[in-house]
Amino acid sequence: MRDVMADTIEQAGISSYDIAEAEKKFLLPDSDLEWIGDCKRQHEWIERKIIQYSNNASFGIPQSFIGKEHVLAMIDCWDIFSKFLSIEGLRREWNEQLRQDKQLDWIKEGDERKACGYIWDWLRKHQLTRTFMRNEPTDHQSMLMFFDACDMSDIEKKHCIASARKLWRQDIRRSSDTGKDQLNVTLSKKAIGRLDKFCKKHELSRSKVLEVLLMMEEEKGLYIAERLRILREIES
């Protein structure tokens, strides 16, 4: 192949100076592409962006090129003014995408399939067309890739994810409340003030603070007995 390339260059009358200048203009240094890794999701994201910015142009990349090799081949064939700035723009967009990914971190907190199901159910109920002819994501990574390919604005995505997460948290809360009974008690304003002070200090709910106090009294048995002793001494 080197001989064929050399003969072609010689027959076309291209000088070494022309080649050096073209290299400066059209070839990117490896350092500008180091941010591209071996992540399938990143490859698909970059490919969609390049096609989008190239107005759906066909690149004619050989089918034998896959993964990172395919992405780099697309970049090599990217016929766009100031490719250097375009790649840097893609890198910034990718970093911003990674920052936005944090809104889906809650999926990894437990059963990923179940958590993804809340998002999918919300979409089927409120935006059914988004799910048409698409496989339901079953884990954190596949859900990220779904939103990458889904034609939704950032506001729509945030609303969908926030709504599904709210339902997910409500279900977890209901599950944790299993085996508990509701008890209505009347407290003085002073007692309520103390209770709320503890809630704020320890960032706990009223019921949780009461549960902790009751548990400690059961284990130690100090505070109620001491309070009764003091009251008896006062009365005597």
pLDDT digits (tens, 9 = 90+) for 142-153: 999 999 998 899
Place of tokens 């919300």: 122
Instruction: Check residue 178 and give its pLDDT.
Output: 61
Q: What pLDDT, in 10s, does the model give residues 196-225? A: 898 888 878 888 888 888 888 888 877 888
Domain spans, the chain: 2-80, 103-176, 189-235
The H or E element that residue 10 is part of is helix 2-12
Least confident of 7-11, 82-86, 128-132, 184-188: 82-86
Q: Strands (DSSP E) along 16-102, which ranges?
A: none
The number of angstroms, rounded, from the C-alpha of 62 to the middle of its chain's C-alpha atoms is 32
* Cα Rg of the chain, angstroms: 31
Q: What pLDDT, in 10s, does the model give residues 118-140? A: 999 999 999 999 998 899 999 99
Provide the sign of the torsion angle of the four alpha carbons 43, 46, 50, 51, taken in this order: positive
| Whole-number Å distance between alpha carbons of 223 and 210 | 14
Instruction: Check residue 80 and give its pLDDT.
Output: 59
Provide the sign of the torsion angle of the four alpha carbons 1, 81, 73, 56, taken in this order: negative
Confidence of residue 170 (pLDDT cuts 50, 70, 90): confident
Contact 56, 74 (CB under 8 A): no
Q: What pLDDT, in 10s, does the model give residues 51-67? A: 888 876 677 788 888 99
Q: What average pLDDT is seen over the chain? A: 86
Q: Which two tokens stand for residue 93?
A: 């967009």
Instruction: Check residue 27 and give its pLDDT.
Output: 78
Q: What pLDDT, in 10s, does the model give residues 77-96? A: 876 555 666 888 899 999 99
Q: What pLDDT, in 10s, does the model give residues 23-41? A: 777 778 888 899 999 999 9
Confidence of residue 236 (pLDDT cuts 50, 70, 90): low
Confidence of residue 105 (pLDDT cuts 50, 70, 90): very high
| Whole-number Å distance between alpha carbons of 21 and 15 | 10
Instruction: Check residue 151 and give its pLDDT.
Output: 86
Q: Which residues lie closer than 8 Å to 32 by C-beta, 6 or more apart?
A: 84, 87, 88
**What is the tally of helices (H) and strands (E) in the chain?**
11, 0
Residue 44 has a CB neighbour count (10 Å cut-off) of: 14
| Whole-number Å distance between alpha carbons of 145 and 40 | 9
Instruction: Check residue 138 and give its pLDDT.
Output: 95
Question: How much is the average pLDDT of 175-190?
Answer: 72
